[in-house]
Amino acid sequence: MSTKFKMKVNKKVPYTVIRDGIYTFRIAVPKHLREKYRDPETGKPRTQIWETLDTRDPDEAISKVGPALSKWRRQFKSETIPADEISYPTLQQTAASFAAPFTYAYAGDFLSASIEHSIHMYNERYEAKNMMSNLNKRQVAAIVGATETPALTFKAAFDRFKQICPDKVLGKDPLETKRFWRRYEEAIEDFAEEMGDEVDCLKIDNALATEYRSKLVERLGEGEFKADAANKKMMWLKIILDEVFRVDHPGTHNPFKDLKNIKEDDAEKRPPFTEAEVKAIRAALETSGMSDEAKAVIRIGACTGTGAKELAWLTASDIHLDAPVPYISIGKNALRKKVKTGGDRHRNIPLVGDALEAMKAFPDGFTRFHHPRGPRQINRAMSEFFRKVTPGKGHYSYRHRMADLLKNSKCDLGVQASITGHKIKGHATYYGTEYDLQLKKDAIETALEYAGTKNN
């Protein structure tokens, strides 16, 4: 033991001695590990580990002893793990158990990290290596990042997010907690349906994140939701990755941070179908591999202007095939509290021609879509079809087509609004009860007859 220090054992602060008035932590090295923990100056096996606590205050020394003791006990305990075990979880544990611990990272992660962070990562590993000699295979593998980081799906990231941030639901009852986490789950489900559920969050780049944003803009143009709802989907994903990357993958770039918020005017409204396109769609439906339900939704939309989401959640109570004028009710039911903004969007629409025949095949509604993700599934089922047959247009174009047909066939403005669900501003004469179904039926038939006279 060196004599250049004045030293005395301190009984009030366990695991310490006082060297020249400074508290120093001291712990014995297990006999079977002494060869590994050699003195860097003499090269001799060490029987004890000494670390200055850099304080003369006994109270401060006591507060520092606990972490030092835990660190070295964790280090010694890690030596019991087989030396040839280099799985990712084991290397994570090994990196954290070094006397100078660090966060495990795959070798390839050094290249993707910033220069500043890469240098920091190298320094951490250099310090850990200098604390001991004769590293085994597992410890070397932890330092050099020998095992690739496994893929991190959004589902796995969300599970980890909840572990990291339990305080977010602190004080909430079970129902409130479920509702709170649900908004994150819905964002993940939406991303998975658009981009796939096996996407590795650690490999999402700006291009992929931007592609997802573009899909949201496209759906915004189809009237599926408002810009605020689209922005929240991106925000929840960003928050999840912010926390998981901060704790488990420091230095990893979160691409959702770079996405700009979507504005209502970012989305171009889908133009109406031309009559030539309507004919092309009818012909393509004959050979399409879509489900009968999806085909029926398209046929009904063509004769009513109703949206896919409005039709997907029709229930048996909304379908009135035996009424004097057969019709469907678009409004509140067992599956939804309201349609979009409610009010004028809640309406009764007569079924004529092809729409009536299509609805007869599904008197209970399109039950395969009677679940929370049903509307999204019907849109996905039809999107590829419309992309091939009418590029740049989708089912929502039927709504704009019907509005144009009613207008050009000289339909009363109030009746038009009652069919399409548009709100009339500044026309007090149209306030009152719902228009008669026969009146609306005649208007739709006249509009469709007008469509037959057009050549485009």
Q: Which CATH number covers residue 418?
A: 1.10.443
Residue 426 confidence (pLDDT): 53
Task: For residues 255 and 297, state if they share a domain.
Answer: no
**Residues comprising the chain, all counted:** 456
Task: For residues 20 and 166, state if they share a domain.
Answer: no
Inside any domain, residue 45: yes
Task: For residues 393 and 412, state if they share a domain.
Answer: yes
Taking the C-alpha atoms of residue 416 and residue 420, their distance in angstroms, rounded to an integer, is 6
Inside any domain, residue 93: no
Inside any domain, residue 220: yes
Alpha-helix runs per DSSP H in 292-336: 292-304, 308-312
236: left (phi over 0), alpha (psi -120 to 50) or beta: alpha
Residue 266 confidence (pLDDT): 66
169: left (phi over 0), alpha (psi -120 to 50) or beta: alpha
Of 211, 241, 266, the position where a domain reaches its end is 266
For residues 373 and 244, the answer to whether their CB atoms sit within 8 Å is: no
Counted domains in the chain: 3
Task: For residues 174 and 310, state if they share a domain.
Answer: no
Task: For residues 194 and 284, state if they share a domain.
Answer: no
Instruction: Domain of residue 201: give its range.
Output: 154-266
For residues 240 and 158, the answer to whether their CB atoms sit within 8 Å is: yes
Question: Could you read off the pLDDT tens digit of each residue along the chain, which spans 456 residues?
Answer: 444 555 666 667 788 888 888 888 888 888 877 877 777 778 788 888 888 888 988 888 888 888 888 878 877 777 766 777 788 888 887 888 787 888 888 888 787 777 888 888 889 898 888 877 678 888 899 888 888 778 889 999 999 999 999 999 988 999 999 999 999 999 998 898 888 778 899 889 888 899 889 888 877 876 677 889 999 999 999 999 999 999 888 878 899 998 999 887 766 566 889 999 999 999 999 999 999 999 999 999 999 999 888 899 999 999 999 999 999 999 888 988 877 655 667 899 999 999 999 999 999 999 999 987 788 788 878 888 988 899 878 888 898 899 999 999 999 888 888 898 876 655 444 444 478 999 999 999 999 999 888 665
Inside any domain, residue 149: no
pTM score of the predicted model: 0.52
Task: For residues 167 and 313, state if they share a domain.
Answer: no
Inside any domain, residue 117: no
Task: For residues 306 and 339, state if they share a domain.
Answer: yes
Of 266, 293, 313, the position where a domain reaches its end is 266
| Residue 142, number of CB atoms within 10 A of its CB | 28
Task: For residues 224 and 308, state if they share a domain.
Answer: no
Task: Decide: helix, strand or coil at residue 154.
Answer: helix
Task: For residues 182 and 285, state if they share a domain.
Answer: no
AA letter at 158: F
Of 39, 58, 77, the position where a domain reaches its end is 58
Inside any domain, residue 242: yes
Residue 429 confidence (pLDDT): 44
For residues 154 and 201, the answer to whether their CB atoms sit within 8 Å is: yes
Inside any domain, residue 35: yes
Sign of CA dihedral 85, 91, 94, 98: positive
Task: For residues 308 and 449, state if they share a domain.
Answer: yes
Residues 6+ apart with CB under 8 A from 410: none
Task: For residues 283 and 401, state if they share a domain.
Answer: yes
Task: For residues 197 and 290, state if they share a domain.
Answer: no
Inside any domain, residue 334: yes
